[in-house]
């Protein structure tokens, strides 16, 4: 059995993150790398999920980002990669090691991921369909998921002073909402908006992973 830490520390092994600056799930990974002090080991290599010639489809048969390449081996999706990064950092840094609290954290992180998933589906509806094909019912369905999840988080906000799994996942989701704007959420969820501002002030991983171009 190969030791993860040994492979990670081996300078002859190239480690590449296939993602883009605009991918919300890729941003989760990039924020975790910064927060855990592991970013210097990883090279970001952009990927085009729509290009049949992009090697991403060979690295991840689903053709989705992010995909972490360690040597010739590929690991995906973002949650799996964050689990790996937590293990590399000694465990218990991003999420509890065990017990019921671990599963509470994993559940809340999935809820935050669901915000991003729904926002992506709403974005794709406009991107891949002509105006006469757009389903307002489908868009309302996705926006309903987002608003319910935002309300759930606003009633029980995670500690913005900590950069752990739930906080990183939620921040990435809110950042994506601010960029793509599938709905306006800040006026209706002011406490959550303030939470994001507090998180951004507290953690360099937020500013260091902001996109530099559209």
pLDDT digits (tens, 9 = 90+) for 118-131: 999 999 988 888 88
* pLDDT at residue number 72: 92
Which domains are seen in the chain, by residue range?
Answer: 4-88 (3.40.30.10), 99-203 (1.20.1050.10)
In the chain, the percentage of residues whose pLDDT exceeds 90 is 92
Beta-carbon-side half-sphere exposure of residue 151 (alpha carbons within 13 Å): 7
* pLDDT at residue number 46: 95
* pLDDT at residue number 212: 66
Distance of CA 213 to the CA centre of its chain: 18
> How are strands ordered across the β-sheet holding 67-70?
43-45, 15-18, 67-70, 73-75
Dihedral sign of CA atoms 100, 105, 106, 112 in order: positive
Q: Is the pLDDT at 97 greater than 70, yes or no?
A: yes
Beta strands in 57-167 (DSSP E): 67-70, 73-75
């Amino acid at each position: 059995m190969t030791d993860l830490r040994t492979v990670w520390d081996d300078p002859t092994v190239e480690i590449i993150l296939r993602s883009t600056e605009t991918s919300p799930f890729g941003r989760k990974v990039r924020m975790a790398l910064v927060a855990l002090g592991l970013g210097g080991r990883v090279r970001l290599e952009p990927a085009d999920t729509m290009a049949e010639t992009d090697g991403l489809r060979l690295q991840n048969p689903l053709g989705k980002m992010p995909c972490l390449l360690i040597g010739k081996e590929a690991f995906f999706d973002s949650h799996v990669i964050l689990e790996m990064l937590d293990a590399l950092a000694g465990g218990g840094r991003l999420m509890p090691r065990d017990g019921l609290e671990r599963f509470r954290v994993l559940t809340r992180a999935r809820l935050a991921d669901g915000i991003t998933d729904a926002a992506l589906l709403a974005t794709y509806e406009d991107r891949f369909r002509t105006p006469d094909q757009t389903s307002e019912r489908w868009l309302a369905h996705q926006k309903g998921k987002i608003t319910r999840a935002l309300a759930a988080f606003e009633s029980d906000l995670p500690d913005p002073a900590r950069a752990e799994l739930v906080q990183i996942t939620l921040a990435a989701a809110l950042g994506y909402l601010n960029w793509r704007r599938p709905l306006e959420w800040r006026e209706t969820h002011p406490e959550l908006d303030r939470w994001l501002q507090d998180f951004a002030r507290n953690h360099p991983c937020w500013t260091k992973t902001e996109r530099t171009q559209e």
